[in-house]
Amino acid sequence: MRSTAEARRAVLLDRAVAVFARNGYHATPVTAVAAAAGISEAYALRLFTNKLGLFTAAVETCYDRILETLETAAATAPDPDPDKVLQHLGDAYANLIADKNLLMLQVHAQSVSDVPEIKATVRAGYKRLVAFLRQAGADDGQIQLFIAYGQLCHLIVTAGLDDVDDSWARALTAGMTHVSHHDEAR
């Protein structure tokens, strides 16, 4: 059985993903994350030392969720062909980012990658993702394309391009399928 501190840490990280997703790193005080988790700021800081530690742990949690989702999808892929597996993984990722919190946290993390610890966390997340994709049978060209399509998904969802009925938007969204996202935090 997990200790109270471990359980509180898990709840705090879950809420940190949602709260940081709304306002990003710089505009989110630890008090807001702690309040969302139902704990004091002092206790949150005992668990994570400072806001930077809490933010990078939330970003790591985001990558954990991505990898868990992709691992499950790889295990259930109907066809072992690497291109088909990657398509199945892409569909699973599109379903995952229907939780807009995960999507927005990734966007916010990339936007503050000038902070060395955040840059290191983002790089570590992508390193894990690339290693997983290689293990799933993808070559470097397929991996690059998979990541590029993921970033295009981010743009389509964050800018609401599915809702734009104009040729320039259709050029970006053609062939891309996205699940309706949840605008409200859990």
When pLDDT is cut at 50, 70 and 90, the band that residue 1 belongs to is: very low
Check residues 2 and 125 and name the one with the higher pLDDT. Answer: 125
Q: Which of 12, 47, 48, 49 is nearest to 32 (CA)?
A: 12
Number of other residues whose CB lies within 10 A of the CB of residue 147? 14
Q: What is the mean pLDDT of residues 139-159?
A: 91
> What is the C-alpha separation between 41 and 62, in angstroms, rounded?
22
For 18-76, write each residue's pLDDT tens digit. 999 999 999 999 999 999 999 999 999 999 999 999 999 999 999 999 999 999 999 99
Question: How large a percentage of the chain has pLDDT more than 70?
Answer: 93
When pLDDT is cut at 50, 70 and 90, the band that residue 186 belongs to is: very low
> What is the C-alpha separation between 94 and 105, in angstroms, rounded?
15
